[in-house]
Chain A
Amino acid sequence: MNMQRREALKSTGAMGLFGVLVAAGLITPELAHAAWDKAAFEAKSMEDVLKALGAGKPADSKDVQLSGPDIAENGAVVPVGVKSALPGTEFVAILVEKNPNMLAASFTLPEGTAADVSTRIKMGQTSNVYALVKAGGSYYMTVKEIKVTLGGCGG
């Protein structure tokens, strides 16, 4: 393993977006954090999430794929991935219908980044999981049910 991997580099070039902005005095850490889409993440219904994201009424699309297990052994960690074959996909979001707040994560994809992102989410119970993407200025959605088994306790 390479030692560089675990060293937090302090040079400006390696600080990433907010690091650079904060270091340059352009924004405070609080402001960098303020860019977080509070309204969307705190929304409790699909309608409110879509409204907060400005997504209108997304069309169902077979070109959007949500990958994930049919059944998850533990809702604390559920691997999910979103892939879009729609040209110009620039935004991806993952929504869990039965979570207290539906929006789990969203990603902005600059030109050159593949519309193929995977992460791991928490699910309180068996639920529909939605992948929402923005491509060419319009929003599209797909859905998959993921079952969560009971048994988050004991050894």
Chain B
Amino acid sequence: MAAGPMRIRAASNGTETEVKILMSHDMETGQRKDASGNLIPAHHITEITATHNGRVVLAGQFGPAVAKNPYLQFKFKGGAKGDKVSVSWVDNKGEKRTDEVVVS
């Protein structure tokens, strides 16, 4: 399911916006072996950036120890219904993905 769309929820309570993100990614650690005993190469998200109306509200770095299909939750001040929150990630193979949601 690598590179499938993210599921992003962003909800404003008037003063704060809470963002919940599910990313579709295998987050392969590089420590597992396949059925024939060969090491499966690491494949994981390395960086994630969330922006609100174009301004960065969170910048994260992931190692392979973040769970498969990563989940992330955070809050920032401001944000109103109708604003846009955009989330981007890039992985160690250079694959990337950006999805956007309207604040509810």
Contact = CB atoms under 8 A, between A and B. Distances in A.
B86 to A, nearest CB: 5
A119 B69 CA distance: 11
Contacts of B64: 101, 122
B40 interface: no
Nearest to A15: B98
Contacts of B90: 18, 29, 32-33
Contacts of B92: 33, 36
A14 B84 contact: yes
Interface in B53-104: 54-68, 70-78, 84, 86-88, 90-92, 94, 96-102
B5 interface: yes
Interface in A38-86: 41, 76-79, 81
Nearest to B62: A105
A105 B60 contact: yes
B65 to A, nearest CB: 4
Contacts of B8: 5
A142 interface: no
Contacts of B86: 9, 13-16
A49 B87 CA distance: 27
Interface in A91-109: 96, 99-101, 103-109
B3 to A, nearest CB: 9
Nearest to B3: A8
A25 B25 CA distance: 26
B70 A119 contact: yes
B41 to A, nearest CB: 15
B73 A117 contact: yes
A110 B58 contact: yes
Contacts of B70: 119-120
- For the complex of A and B, the 7 pairs showing the least CB-CB separation, nearest first, are A16-B88, A104-B65, A36-B46, A120-B67, A17-B49, A114-B75, A118-B73
